[in-house]
Structures are given as structure tokens and as C-alpha cells.
């Protein structure tokens, strides 16, 4: 699946086509090879050959996948842009590539059952045990693959490990084969003894149809559960592995339990089938009732368990068990029961097991497709669950009426009571709260652990849904946040918005590459989000053509709510909007761009992780013009130092000239990569910033002055090489970010990440060229600690912005900026902050404040700390007051300048903080 999505894309249509092809292969194999198992002289030998074939074919599948592009891409380029046509092409190509392997897999259960089952009375029990063992193997395979093999040895190596298991099984059984000679279910003359194939009885048809319908609901439930649980327990690869593990475990245990009880079910199979179907419907409905409460259950459980990866995994497993395990136990119990009902002669046991397995698999294909493309887009997950339970309830009622060992009047009364009960239960189920369901609690574990009331009051209670929608692409939520912002969540994760901490990076992501490129005319934006980056890109004066690739059509629909904030971005005539996966689009186009900009998305989310790998960056580089620039967003929060280093090394391995720039939000940074050397053309920068449209747009991110742009520069390729030399590459085969970042989401904070990134760097050379700047500039980055008592959402109710100082190399002249250049604000404990500040040397502190603020000398107030001087001044701004301060540290002979922003209504608190600030400054020796 992982390998094929790299070719076909990670869209829901592509993934569904691949999944359908896989399951179709299983169904076809079980149907055809079941007949072969009955005719085989030695079914165990047939099983050995199947395992051997699976291993050999699996060994060569990477080679097949490698050349699949050569067949697929020509089809894509000649077909009109239609997801229906593309899905058909993907299905048949995937089916053709994996057909042999999946068909052989589908034939293993009928072949082994034919060998194992000695009499017809044991058909259900024996096949149920084998089915349970097979599914338990899938459980362990999913755990080992997701938690150990792929992260530690790689994707291909995991495939080869599976190949090794297949070959080992084949070799081991080949050695044991002589011991089983003469103990074969069908004799050497088996072909002569096989009963002639006759048509199915009406009861067998009904049983097979009912089991296919049950397979339909089972996979439909699984699709809806996965969609819903990803909102509650997260979208990491471990969350999805946990969901799959739970689903398979329930199936396996249910099959084992029914196999053990098989002797007690004689002559009551149809009644039991009806009870199980009713039980599935009932347990799914009860799970639907609980689902609306599960986000808060996660919230409270997360405060009890250890705040690390294993502690949160316990919570994820518990939530998954609550939702899925009761129903899946009953689903698993159906397989041995149906075999008991369907098989009637030992001579045809292989064929009949193959028919049952194939019928159920065909049902699962239709169920998965219907849930993803019909039920959820039309009705939503909640209503889909309720509607699907009616299928199980109707199956139960049908069997009660026609086959159960109940007498006439009792049958009708029982079936009628089932209908009334389900109607009432559907009516009383409370609606799910969209804010709770989209709260993305796993990403806020640190805040929940330290300030649970902040999360509830500021986020859950302080937010108001504006637009809620589910479609084939996922869950879309637009909501009003506190302080008047409006934000976009996709599948529970923030993808943009107008919150003050989010706006700067979205604008800077478009601005930086546009200002650094000498003449950017064609741009590709990967990811629409709230449209803020797109709107900023459209304001850049040189841009003549913009392509925007967005994987979710739902995000495009939601953008109407952000039109007032993104300059009505979707109406620009230069824009071409493409609904596709970014890698898939770049694979099928030959177009080249001056700029390729990857919008904000999280590198550890399954699917999105594909656009953070080495292979994707190489693909993007191939679509850049000779002086093209690639700009990528990355974040300090929900991250670990090695994750940042890994991505920076991956970018640097593709682009020989890579630079890092801090966003003015202070919690994100922009990575710029190019094949050519990157520098700031100061004269051109001044010219571009003189455009009123550009200047006003950049003003929303505090970047309207040239010094603001210059001041966001952090490091270039020389310093970067020192930071990342030992970091692992993030590749398709070894997806370090996708598998290791989720293990540290709950442990690392921004302070540790920034310290790791910046290290001991005290000065960097800004790559700048211009009439008065030909010698370059130096900016210094020591650590300064400021202890305060700020409270609020994510622990800041104020920004701490830092002015940058630039000094000509070889000159003692100091120059201060006339506009603040925001820097990072960090939380340390519950009330301590540490920030990275720029500094100058031999500066006059009063002159700095007067020059920076326009205030008079009479307004400057003074204080002292540890014998050092502190000066500060207050300046009224549009939405509050800014406190500018400068201080001198004798321990390192440096002069610093900083800025606090105090929102309206918080003035008394900030007056107190400023009056006590002299007690909380630590001077660090560089």
C-alpha cells in the first residue's frame, strides 16, 4: 500500500483503488484456488507452493512497482482530469501488479483447511481456528510492521522480512511434509472421490448473501471508525496501527471463541446467526452513543497515564477497544458459524470455504467503497453508523422470521421488537459535538497535563463552529477562535487561519521566496489551507502565473469563510486550482516553476508525510527553473530536535544552497532551498517593498521593512552543515519523521528544539548584496532569559518581540531597525520564558529607544538589575500597548533590546510586570 500510493498518490480515490484491488485479488484467489484445493492430491503441498509463490512474488514486487510509472503516467497524461477515470486506471494497474500475490494469499486458507479438516462436522471449528490463527498473524504483523520493522529497518526491508517468513514457512513445512504423508484429507485418488458440483441450495444462497452483506457492513464500519477515531486519538502511523490492531484482534478472538463453542451450536446455527447480527448492530449503536464522549475520556485519561509515548498508546488502545472491540468480536464469530451452515460435504470443503471467504471479501470491497464515497459524504460518520446498523438488524430480522427455531407468532413478535428497539435507540443517541470531535487532544497533551482548564476554557468552550462538513477527503471544521480569529481544521489538525500566532508564517512563506528570487513569474503552491499564503503570493508584483495543488476539495469549499482575510485569493485570474496529491501532480506534469512553496502541514501525519521525504524534494527540484527556489514550512512545536535536524539534512541533501529563516510568529521557520546561491539583493528588496500592495500585505506579518526581512535570517549552508551532519535522512524507505516524531510529541517543547537548532551560534553572516551592504552584515544570537508570570493560551498572552541589530563587518557603526523583528517566545515551566535576542555592542541605550520608538527622552523609565542598567518606554499601538526595553549586561559586554506587547485590558498586569522586570533578567555569557 505504501509503495503504490507513492505512484498513484495519497488521495482517498487512489488509496481506495489500491485497497479494492488488493481485496479483489484475495477474493479471486480464494474462489479459484478453493476448487483447486479439493482436487489436489496433497493439499498441504499445495499450501507450501502457495507460501513459496507469495514469497517469491513478494521479493520482486519492489521491482514491479519501480517500473509502474512507465505504464501509469502515459495513461494519466492522455486521459481527461476525472477522478472516476483515474480511479479505474489505478484499480486495474494495481490489480494487475498485485494480482498474483494477493490471489495466492487468498488461496492459503482453503488449501490449509482442506488439509486440516478431517470430517464435515469439524468444518466450522477447524476453519475457524485456522482463520483465527491467520488473523492473529495479521495482528502481530501490523504491530511489528508499524511499531518496529518499518521505523528501524525500512519499508523494503520489512517487505523482505515478510518474504523471509513466507519462505521459512514453506521450507519448514517441506521438511515436515513426509511425516504427514498418508494423513491427507483427500486421498491420492481424491479426484475420483470428489462429489460432482451441484448448485447451491436456497439456504446456502441466503447464508452466502447474508455473510457478504455482513462483510459489507464490517468494512463500512471500519472506514467510519477509522475516520472518527483519527479525530480522537490522532492521525499518526501509530494511531492507524492501533486501529487496525484492534479491528483484527477482535476478528481473531471472535473466531477463536466461536470455534470453541461450535459443538454447543448444533441445530441452532440460524438462530445464533440472527442473534450475532443483532448484537453487531446493538454494539455499534452503543459505541456511537459513547463516541461523542470519547474525546473527553481521552482528555481525562491523558492526565492519569505517564506523559510519554507509551502512556498515550495505552489511552489510544483503550479508546479503540471501547469503540471497536465488542462489535468485531461478533464479526469474527460469524466466519466459523457460516462455514458450519454452508459446508455440506468434506469433498467440497476447500471450494466452499473459498466461496464463503470470497463472498465476504466482495462484500468488504463494496462496503469500504460505499462508506468512503457514498455514506460519509452524504450522511456524515455519525448518521452512517446508525444507517449501517439497520443492515445488520434487517439480516437478523430476516433470519428470525425464516430460519430461527421459533414458532410463528414468536418469530414476528421478536423481529418486530428488534425493529422498534433500533428505531428508539437511533432516536435517543445524542449528537456529537463538532468542537469536541475536532479538538485534536493528542497534540495538546503538554498543555492538558499542566493547564487542563486552559484547554477547556480557551479552546473547547471559547470556540464556536462556523462550518462543519464531511466529504470523501475528510472532516472539515471552520471555527471562531478567541480574540476574534477564525481557523480551519482538517481531520482535527489546524491547517491555517487568522489567529495571531498563525498569520505571520503563512504570509512569510509566500513573501520570502518571492523577495529572494530575482524575477519570479511562475509559482506552485502545495496546499491551500486557509488561503492566506495564496493571497500573499498573489500580492507579489512579479508573479504572473500560480498553480495551487490541494488534495482536499473540502478545503476549497471552506475557503469562502476566509475570503475577507486572504484577499479573496480564489478569485485571482492568475490562479489554476488543481485537486490532486502533490507528488502525483509533479509526477504527471512537465511544467517548471520559479517558486515551489510547500504550505503548512505536519510531517508526521500519515499521507502528508510523503511531501517531506528526500524523493519528493528531488521531484520538486526537477520542476524548478535554473534559478528556482523551494520554500518549505516547518515548526518548533510538537517536534523533537532530531526531527528538525533530519528534515534540514534531507533538504540540504537535495538543494546545495539551503538557508533557514525564522518566522515572525516565533514558533515556526521557513527553509529556503535552491540550486543557486541565495542572497538578499538589497536594492531590489527596497524596490519591491515600495509597492503599496506588497508593503501592506507584509505589514500583517511585521515584515514591511527591509531590516525585518534581513532580521529573520538564521543560518546558511555552512552553519547548517555543522548542525545536521549526524542526522538521519528522511526517505520514502526510511520515513524517520513519520515514525519517530509521534513518539516525542508529548516530551519535547519549543525551547529545547530552538536551543538544539541555534546551538552556540553567536553570529551569522547575512547573505546580502547592495550598494551600502557589499561587505555583508552580522547578526548575533545569544540566549537571554526573562522570567515573568504570563498566563494564557499556550502560555502566552503577550508577544515578546526582539529588535535586530546589524553591524557592518569591519566597522564599529551600529544600526538599529525602525520596526520590530519578532523573535521566539518560549515557555519554561509554568511561568518562565527564555528568548533568543539580537544584540549590538557599544550602543547608546537611550538613543536606541528614541530611534526605535519615536518617543522622547522624558518618557524613558529606568531600572537596574544585578548592577546593570535597564531602560524601557511605553508606546500606544492600535490594539494595545508596546513596551520597548533595552538593557546592558556587563557579564558579556552586550547591549540588548526587546519588546513586550500588552493587549488592551491587560494594562495593570503589564505595568506590574514591567516594574518588576529588573528582578527577572538573566545575563548569559556567550
480 in any annotated domain = yes
pLDDT recorded at residue 721: 84
pLDDT recorded at residue 918: 55
209 in any annotated domain = yes
CATH classification of the domain holding 211: 1.20.1250
**Whose grid coordinates read 512579479?**
542
Task: Give mean pLDDT, residues 865-893.
Answer: 70
Task: Give mean pLDDT, residues 177-187.
Answer: 60
The residue with greater pLDDT, 3 or 229, is 229
pLDDT tens digits for range 45-63: 999 999 999 999 889 888 8
Same domain for 689 and 708, yes or no, is yes
The residue with greater pLDDT, 74 or 894, is 74
Same domain for 730 and 790, yes or no, is no
Task: Give mean pLDDT, residues 855-875.
Answer: 76
Q: What percent of the chain has pLDDT over 70?
A: 74
Rg (CA), the chain: 32
Same domain for 228 and 329, yes or no, is yes
C-alpha cell at 64: 514491479
Same domain for 504 and 491, yes or no, is no
| 523: confidence class by pLDDT, cuts 50, 70, 90 | very high
The residue with greater pLDDT, 858 or 513, is 513
Question: Residues 6 or more apart from 656 whose CB is under 8 A from it?
Answer: 675, 717
**766 contacts 709 by C-beta, under 8 angstroms:** no
827 sits in which H/E element: strand 826-828
With 80 as the cut, is the pLDDT of residue 753 above it?
no
Average pLDDT, the chain: 79
pLDDT recorded at residue 895: 65
705 in any annotated domain = yes
C-alpha cell at 585: 501532480
Task: Give mean pLDDT, residues 141-159.
Answer: 92
> How far, in Å, CA of 160 to CA of 58, rounded?
8
Residue at which a domain ends, from 405, 432, 459: 432
197 in any annotated domain = no
**657 contacts 675 by C-beta, under 8 angstroms:** yes
Residue at which a domain ends, from 398, 432, 466: 432
Task: Give mean pLDDT, residues 798-816.
Answer: 31
Cα 837-713-610 angle, rounded to 5 deg: 115
Reference 342, options 415, 273, 254; nearest CA is 273
pLDDT recorded at residue 833: 34
140 in any annotated domain = no
Same domain for 310 and 455, yes or no, is no
pLDDT recorded at residue 571: 94
The residue with greater pLDDT, 418 or 170, is 170
**515 contacts 685 by C-beta, under 8 angstroms:** yes
Same domain for 225 and 272, yes or no, is yes
With 90 as the cut, is the pLDDT of residue 552 above it?
no
666 in any annotated domain = yes
- C-beta atoms surrounding 576 within 10 Å: 11
The residue with greater pLDDT, 156 or 764, is 156
pLDDT tens digits for range 187-214: 444 444 444 555 667 777 888 999 999 9
Residue at which a domain ends, from 458, 474, 496: 496
Same domain for 631 and 647, yes or no, is yes
> How far, in Å, CA of 319 to CA of 441, rounded?
13
With 80 as the cut, is the pLDDT of residue 860 above it?
yes
Same domain for 239 and 341, yes or no, is yes
Same domain for 475 and 516, yes or no, is no
139 in any annotated domain = no
pLDDT recorded at residue 830: 32
129 in any annotated domain = no
pLDDT tens digits for range 244-262: 899 999 999 999 999 888 8
> How far, in Å, CA of 191 to CA of 410, rounded?
47
Question: Residues 6 or more apart from 826 whose CB is under 8 A from it?
Answer: 749, 750, 751, 754, 833, 834, 835
Same domain for 569 and 689, yes or no, is yes
Task: Give mean pLDDT, residues 804-816.
Answer: 30
CATH classification of the domain holding 444: 2.30.140
Cα 530-532-537 angle, rounded to 5 deg: 135
Same domain for 225 and 343, yes or no, is yes
pLDDT recorded at residue 777: 42
| 816: confidence class by pLDDT, cuts 50, 70, 90 | very low
Task: Give mean pLDDT, residues 824-831.
Answer: 32
The residue with greater pLDDT, 406 or 684, is 684
pLDDT tens digits for range 97-113: 778 888 999 899 899 88
With 90 as the cut, is the pLDDT of residue 122 above it?
no
Task: Give mean pLDDT, residues 764-789.
Answer: 46
Q: What percent of the chain has pLDDT over 90?
A: 30
pLDDT recorded at residue 404: 55
The total number of structural domains that make up the chain = 5
Task: Give mean pLDDT, residues 840-847.
Answer: 59
Same domain for 173 and 257, yes or no, is no
Name the residue range of residue 468's domain. 436-496
pLDDT recorded at residue 911: 63
By the 10 Å C-beta count (0-12 exposed, 13-18 middle, 19+ buried), 438 is classed as buried
> How far, in Å, CA of 154 to CA of 853, rounded?
55
Span of 34-48, 513-527, 858-872 with lowest mean pLDDT? 858-872
| 774: confidence class by pLDDT, cuts 50, 70, 90 | very low
Amino acid at each position: 500500500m505504501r509503495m503504490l500510493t507513492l505512484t498513484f498518490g495519497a488521495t482517498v480515490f487512489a488509496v481506495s483503488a489500491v485497497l479494492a484491488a488488493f481485496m479483489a485479488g484475495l477474493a479471486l484467489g480464494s474462489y479459484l484456488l478453493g476448487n483447486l484445493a479439493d482436487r489436489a492430491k496433497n493439499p498441504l503441498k499445495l499450501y507450501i507452493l502457495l507460501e513459496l509463490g507469495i514469497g517469491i512474488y513478494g521479493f520482486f514486487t519492489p521491482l514491479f512497482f519501480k517500473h509502474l510509472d512507465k505504464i501509469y503516467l502515459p495513461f494519466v497524461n492522455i486521459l481527461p482530469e476525472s477522478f472516476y477515470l483515474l480511479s479505474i486506471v489505478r484499480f486495474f494497474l494495481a490489480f494487475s501488479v498485485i494480482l498474483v500475490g494477493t490471489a495466492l494469499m487468498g488461496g492459503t486458507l482453503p488449501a490449509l483447511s482442506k488439509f486440516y479438516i478431517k470430517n464435515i462436522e469439524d468444518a466450522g471449528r477447524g476453519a475457524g481456528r485456522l482463520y483465527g490463527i491467520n488473523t492473529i498473524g495479521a495482528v502481530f504483523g501490523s504491530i511489528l510492521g508499524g511499531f518496529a520493522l518499518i521505523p528501524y529497518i525500512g519499508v523494503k526491508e520489512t517487505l523482505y522480512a515478510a518474504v523471509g517468513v513466507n519462505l521459512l514457512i514453506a521450507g519448514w513445512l517441506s521438511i515436515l511434509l513426509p511425516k504427514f504423508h498418508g494423513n491427507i484429507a483427500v486421498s491420492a485418488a481424491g479426484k475420483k472421490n470428489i462429489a460432482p458440483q451441484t448448485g447451491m441450495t436456497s439456504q446456502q444462497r441466503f447464508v452466502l448473501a447474508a455473510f457478504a452483506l455482513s462483510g459489507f457492513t464490517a468494512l463500512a464500519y471500519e472506514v467510519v471508525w477509522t475516520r472518527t477515531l483519527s479525530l480522537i486519538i490522532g492521525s499518526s502511523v501509530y494511531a492507524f496501527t492501533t486501529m487496525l490492531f484492534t479491528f483484527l484482534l477482535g476478528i481473531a478472538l471472535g473466531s477463536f471463541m466461536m470455534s470453541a463453542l461450535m459443538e454447543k451450536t448444533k441445530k441452532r446455527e440460524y438462530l445464533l446467526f440472527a442473534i450475532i447480527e443483532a448484537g453487531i448492530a446493538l454494539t455499534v449503536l452503543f459505541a456511537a452513543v459513547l463516541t461523542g464522549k470519547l474525546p473527553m475520556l481521552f482528555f481525562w485519561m491523558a492526565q492519569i497515564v505517564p506523559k510519554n509515548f507509551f502512556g498515550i498508546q495505552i489511552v489510544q488502545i483503550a479508546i479503540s477497544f471501547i469503540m471497536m472491540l465488542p462489535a468485531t468480536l461478533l464479526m469474527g464469530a460469524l466466519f466459523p458459524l457460516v462455514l458450519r451452515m454452508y459446508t455440506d460435504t468434506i469433498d467440497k470443503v476447500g471450494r466452499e470455504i473459498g466461496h464463503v471467504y470470497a463472498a465476504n471479501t466482495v462484500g468488504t470491497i463494496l462496503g469500504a467503497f460505499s462508506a468512503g464515497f457514498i455514506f460519509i459524504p452524504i450522511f456524515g460518520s455519525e448518521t452512517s453508523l446508525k444507517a449501517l446498523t439497520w443492515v445488520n438488524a434487517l439480516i437478523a430480522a430476516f433470519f428470525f422470521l425464516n430460519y430461527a427455531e421459533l414458532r410463528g407468532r414468536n418469530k414476528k413478535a421478536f423481529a418486530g421488537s428488534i425493529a422498534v428497539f433500533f428505531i428508539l435507540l437511533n432516536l435517543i443517541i445524542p449528537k456529537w459535538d463538532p468542537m469536541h470531535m475536532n479538538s485534536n487532544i493528542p497534540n495538546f497533551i503538554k498543555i492538558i497535563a499542566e493547564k487542563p482548564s486552559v484547554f477547556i476554557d480557551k479552546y473547547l468552550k471559547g470556540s464556536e463552529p462556523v462550518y462543519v462538513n464531511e466529504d470523501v477527503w475528510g472532516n472539515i471544521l471552520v471555527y471562531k477562535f478567541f480574540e476574534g480569529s477564525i481557523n480551519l481544521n482538517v481531520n482535527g489538525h489546524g491547517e491555517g487561519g487568522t489567529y495571531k500566532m498563525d498569520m505571520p508564517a503563512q504570509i512569510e512563506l509566500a513573501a520570502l521566496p518571492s523577495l529572494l528570487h530575482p524575477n519570479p513569474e511562475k509559482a506552485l503552491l502545495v496546499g491551500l489551507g486557509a488561503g492566506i499564503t495564496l493571497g500573499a503570493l498573489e500580492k507579489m508584483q512579479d508573479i504572473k502565473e500560480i498553480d495551487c495543488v490541494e488534495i482536499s476539495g473540502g478545503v476549497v469549499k471552506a475557503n469562502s469563510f476566509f475570503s475577507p482575510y486572504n484577499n479573496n485569493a480564489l478569485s485571482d485570474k492568475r490562479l489554476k486550482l488543481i485537486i490532486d496529491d502533490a507528488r502525483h501532480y509533479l509526477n504527471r506534469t512537465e511544467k517548471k516553476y520559479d517558486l515551489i512553496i510547500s504550505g503548512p502541514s505536519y510531517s508526521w501525519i500519515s499521507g502528508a508525510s510523503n511531501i517531506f521525504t528526500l524523493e519528493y524534494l528531488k521531484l520538486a527540484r526537477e520542476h524548478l527553473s535554473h534559478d528556482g527556489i523551494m520554500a518549505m514550512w516547518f515548526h518548533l512545536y510538537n517536534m523533537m530536535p532530531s526531527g528538525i535536524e533530519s528534515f534540514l539534512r534531507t533538504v540540504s541533501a537535495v538543494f546545495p544552497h539551503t538557508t533557514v529563516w525564522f518566522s515572525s510568529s516565533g514558533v515556526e521557520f521557513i527553509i529556503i532551498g535552491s540550486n543557486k546561491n541565495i542572497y538578499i539583493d538589497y536594492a531590489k528588496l527596497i524596490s519591491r517593498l515600495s509597492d503599496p500592495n506588497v508593503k501592506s500585505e507584509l505589514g500583517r506579518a511585521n515584515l514591511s521593512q527591509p531590516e525585518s526581512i534581513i532580521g529573520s535570517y538564521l543560518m546558511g549552508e555552512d552553519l547548517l552543515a555543522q548542525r545536521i551532519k549526524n542526522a538521519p535522512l528522511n526517505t520514502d524507505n526510511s520515513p524517520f519523521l513519520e515514525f519517530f516524531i509521534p513518539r516525542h510529541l508529548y516530551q519535547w517543547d519549543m525551547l529545547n528544539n530552538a536551543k538544539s537548532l541555534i546551538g552556540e551560534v553567536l553570529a551569522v553572516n547575512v547573505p546580502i548584496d547592495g550598494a551600502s551592504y557589499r561587505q555583508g552584515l552580522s547578526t548575533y544570537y545569544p540566549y537571554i532569559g526573562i522570567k515573568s508570570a504570563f498566563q494564557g493560551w499556550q502560555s502566552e498572552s503577550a508577544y515578546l518581540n526582539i529588535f535586530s541589530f546589524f553591524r557592518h563587518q569591519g566597522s564599529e557603526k551600529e544600526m538599529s531597525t525602525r520596526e520590530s523583528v519578532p523573535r521566539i517566545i518560549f515557555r519554561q515551566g509554568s511561568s518562565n520564558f527564555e528568548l533568543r535576542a539580537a544584540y549590538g555592542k557599544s550602543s547608546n541605550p537611550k538613543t536606541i529607544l528614541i530611534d526605535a520608538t519615536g518617543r522622547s527622552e522624558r518618557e524613558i523609565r529606568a531600572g537596574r538589575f544585578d548592577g546593570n542598567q535597564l531602560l524601557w518606554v511605553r508606546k500606544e499601538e492600535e490594539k494595545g500597548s508596546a513596551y520597548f526595553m533595552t538593557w546592558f549586561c556587563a557579564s558579556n559586554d552586550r547591549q540588548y533590546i526587546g519588546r513586550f506587547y500588552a493587549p488592551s485590558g491587560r494594562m495593570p498586569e503589564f505595568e506590574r510586570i514591567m516594574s518588576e522586570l529588573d528582578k527577572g533578567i538573566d545575563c548569559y555569557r556567550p
